[in-house]
Amino acid sequence: MTIKYRIGIMPGPWPPGRDGAAFLWTLCDALERSDIDSIWLSDRLSSPSPVPEVMTTLAAIGARTSRLKFGPSVVVLPYRTPVVAAKEMATVDWLSQGRLFPAVGVGVELPREFDASGVAFAQRGRRTDEAIRVMRMLWTQDEVTFQGEFYKLDRISIFPKPWQTPPIWIGGKSEAAMRRTARLGDGWIPSFITPDEMRVGIQRVQDLAGAGGRQVPEDHFGTLINYVIADREDAALATAQPFIPRGRVDEATMRQCTAFGPVGRLLEKIEEYVKAGASKFILRPLCPSARMLEQLDLVAEHVCPEYHRR
C-alpha cells in the first residue's frame, strides 16, 4: 500500500470576544491558500475560554472554502443522539462535496458536562459504540429500524446522504479506545501519546481488529502534536507555557509528545511518529491567537512540503 502523509492543523487558543468570528474567516482564507491539508476543531459544551460549537463552525468552514478538508477531533458522540449527529454530518459532507472527516470519542473526564447534556457519565462509552453503528446505517441505508440499549429507530431515513460515506476515526489512547477502533473504527487518532505508545497502540489495534475479522487501513493512523516554532527551545517553551493543557498526562509524557523549538525539532518529532506507523498529523500551535497565523505559515512552508511530496 502507498502511504499518504498529510499535515492538518488545529487552531490554538481562540481569540476572545467578537474578534473570534472575524478570525475564523481570516484563518479559513489563509489555510485555503496554503498546502495545509485540513483543519480540525475540538468539541466542548462548557469551557472557560472560547470554543465555538463544532458542527456549526465546520459548516461555516465548508462554506468559506472549496479545497480544505475538515473535521471534529473529536466530536463527543454521547452529547448528541446518533440520528441528529448523522443528519448534521451527512448534510455538511453533502454541501462540501465530501470534505468532512469525523473523528469521534467519549469526551474528557468531566462528569458535569455529561450531567449538563442529560447523559450519564458512566454510559458514555456504550452510547458511543451504539451511536457509531446507528450513524453508519443511516448513511448507507435508505431506511433504518434499530433497537439498542439506548437508541430505538423505527423506519428512519435521512436525506441527503453524505457525498461520501465519511470514514469514522476514533480518538483516545485508552485500551477502550483501541478496542473501539478495532471493532468499529476506520482509523485511530489519539492525542497526548508518545511515539513508543503510538507504535504499541497501532499493533494492538491491528491485533484486535484481526481477531475480529477486520483490518484498519495501514495509512489510517495519526496523532495530534502541540508545538511552537522558535529559534530557541527556551523561547518556544516560554510561549507555550500558558497554554499547555494541565492534568492530561504527566510531565515526561508531555515532553515526548510535543515539539518546542526550531522547525527541525517539529520535523524530528513527526518523523518519530512516522517510524511508529503514523501518517496523518494534526499540528496545534500553543501560542497567543495573535501569533497563530505566523505559526501556521511556518508549518505550511517547512513541514507540508516534506510530507505531502513523499
Judge whether residue 102 has pLDDT over 90.
yes
Residue 46 has pLDDT above 80, yes or no: yes
On whether residue 1 sits in a domain, the answer given is no
Confidence of residue 128 (pLDDT cuts 50, 70, 90): very high
Cell of 9: 492543523
Interatomic CA distance for residues 246 and 242, integer angstroms: 10
Contact assessment for residue 49 and residue 55, using Cβ atoms and an 8 Å cutoff: no
14: CB partners within 8 A, 6+ apart: 20, 23, 49, 50, 51, 52, 289
- Provide the domain limits for residue 42: 6-308
pLDDT confidence of residue 64: 98
Residue 13, domain member (yes or no): yes
Q: Could you tell me if residue 151 is inside a domain?
A: yes
Q: Which of 103, 248, 289 is nearest to 186 (CA)?
A: 103
Give mean pLDDT, residues 262-273: 98
Give residue 250's pLDDT band: very low, low, confident or very high (50, 70, 90). Answer: confident
pLDDT of residue 49: 86
Lowest mean pLDDT among 26-30, 109-113, 146-150, 193-197: 109-113
Domain assignment of residue 235, yes or no = yes
Per-residue pLDDT at 247 exceeds 80: no
Mean pLDDT of the chain: 96
* The C-alpha cell that represents 280 in the structure block: 496523518
In total, how many domains does the chain have? 1
CATH of residue 247's domain is: 3.20.20.30
Q: What's the pLDDT band for 268 if we cut at 50, 70, 90?
A: very high
Whether 238 maps to a domain, the answer reads yes
Rounded to whole angstroms, how far apart are CA atoms 184 and 133? 8
| Whether pLDDT at 261 is above 90 | yes
Q: Has residue 120 been placed in a domain?
A: yes
Q: Tell me if 215 is assigned to some domain.
A: yes
End-to-end CA distance of the chain: 13
Phi, psi of 296 (to 5 degrees): -70, -35
What is the spatial distance between Cα 257 and Cα 173, in angstroms, rounded to a whole number?
13
Amino acid identity at 206 = Q
Query: Is there a domain that residue 158 lies in?
Result: yes
* pLDDT of res. 65: 98
Give tens-digit pLDDT for 132-147.
999 999 999 999 999 9
Given CA atoms 271, 170, 73, 136 in this order, what sign does their dihedral have?
positive
Side-chain-side CA neighbours of residue 274 (13 Å): 14
- For residue 167, the one-letter residue type is P
